[in-house]
Structure formats: structure tokens, C-alpha cells
Amino acid sequence: MATIDACLTALKGILGNLAANPAAAGLDRSLSCRLTDLEQVVLGRLNSGSVRDLTVVPDGPDVPKADIRLTMTSDDLVALTAGNLSFAPAWASGRIKFEAGLRDILRLRSLL
């Protein structure tokens, strides 16, 4: 199990690359990444080509629903950013869950 600090570093890497990509230009969306094994949720905002306001909150029913949502274990997040896990096969097998509106999915599909 990875630490929350390792997960934040990994998430900043993934989200930073996502935000800097031209396909994400003009997006202003809330983000969340639920880390099932740590029982924590990282919340943030994708806006103006960057990711802002990353905060960690305990997982629970009162966590706000973000526009773009990821769910995975901490080890899968770290493996994804290290290049040891490919997004598409992990998503297809259910190891990673990605939820967003249809417009966002279509816009971000080339990035994931």
C-alpha cells in the first residue's frame, strides 16, 4: 500500500500532464480520485491548464461528487504513473474506474 504523499505526487503528475494537454484547454471541472485501500479521496479542480486546490478528505457519503472521478487503489495509482500499468487494460478489467460526463469522456479519451 502506497502512502498518501506518494499518491499525491503521482496524481499531480497524471493530472498535470492532463491539464497541460491542448485537448484539455478550456476545461473547468472538479476532480476526485478515490483511493479505496487508504479510504481517502483527493479532491481538486482542473482549470486554465493546471490542476488546483488538491485536498485529501476521508472517504464517506458526504464527499462531494466531482465532474471527473477516478477510483483505484494507491498501488495502482503509483503503478499507473510509473508506467508499470496501462490505463486502458486496467480500466477494461475494472482495476481503475473512470467516470465523467459523455462530453468530458469524449474530450479526454485521447489523453487516457
Q: What is the CATH number of the domain that holds 68?
A: 3.30.1050.10
For 48-101, write each residue's pLDDT tens digit: 778 888 999 999 999 999 999 999 999 999 998 888 988 889 989 999 998 988
* Rama region for 48: left / alpha / beta (φ>0; ψ in -120 to 50; rest): left
| pTM reported for the whole predicted model | 0.87
75: domain range? 4-108
Number of domains, the chain: 1
